[in-house]
A and B are shown apart, each in its own frame.
Chain A
Amino acid sequence: QVQLVQSGAEVKKPGASVKVSCKASGYTFSDYYMHWVRQAPGQGLECMGWINPKSGGTNYAQKFQGRVTMTRDTSISTVYMELSRLRSDDTAVYYCARENDYYAFWGQGTLVTVSS
């Protein structure tokens, strides 16, 4: 069965960077794009961008360009999302979601708290 397992919660100071991982299993890793979606506390869902695990190609939402980097390690079927120059309003739960056009599978989420 498809599983997406994310890394644990993080607490970071403003200006720092965070790197969240998402390990995929139960399917051929390179066959499906992986997206990242975040959700601030009590707020809605926001797409940050995606990575093509086969080629490593990426597409980032304009809001995050220059601050976000998505990478992958095909040897361990894992994608990463790194967000730099963190601000307090980056406090959110970050999800990976596998695309087959729509988002049928989601990771459990990783809470990133940005606080001084």
Chain B
Amino acid sequence: DIVMTQSPDSLAVSLGERATINCKSSQSVFYSSNNKNYFAWFQQKPGQPPRLLIYWASTRESGVPDRFSGSGSGTDFTLTISNMQAEDVAVYYCQQYYYTPRTFGQGTKVEIK
């Protein structure tokens, strides 16, 4: 199975500051035929299902605030939360959907400093 490794495992960010989460895939999830990275980011709050934030590595899902952005290609990806808000406290997961089975990172817990 493809291993997705997130860093850091947790981080504390001051309100209004930037949070950066990295994710590395054990194999490339880039498909050259359509020039797409089969990669997504999710946010999960306690007692809730995951919420899709970013797909195709950098496309923001409808309704997701523009302070969330995704970047990267191939095996290395980043989720950035600019201007951290209290409601952004959550666990964030990366996922590849290129290979079967689809696999997630171990999660990054983001808190307020």
Q: List A26-55 residues whose CB lies under 8 Å from chain B.
A: 35, 44-47, 49
Decide if B106 touches A44 in the complex (CB within 8 Å): yes
Q: Total A-B residue pairs with C-beta atoms closer than 8 Å? A: 50
Residue of B55, B100, B104 touching A45 (CB-CB under 8 A): B104
A57 to chain B, nearest CB (A): 13
CB distance from A82 to the nearest CB of B (A): 18
Q: Are B104 and A101 in contact (CB under 8 A)?
A: no
Q: Mark A14-36, 1 if CB is under 8 A from B, else 0.
A: 00000000000000000000010
Q: How many residues of A contact B (CB 8 A)?
A: 20
CB < 8 Å neighbour of B40 from A46, A61, A102, A108: A102
Q: Which chain B residues have a beta carbon within 8 Å of chain A's beta carbons?
A: 38, 40, 42, 49-52, 55-56, 61, 93, 95, 97, 100-107
7 A/B residue pairs, CB under 8 Å, sorted by A = A46-B104, A59-B100, A62-B101, A102-B56, A103-B50, A106-B50, A108-B49
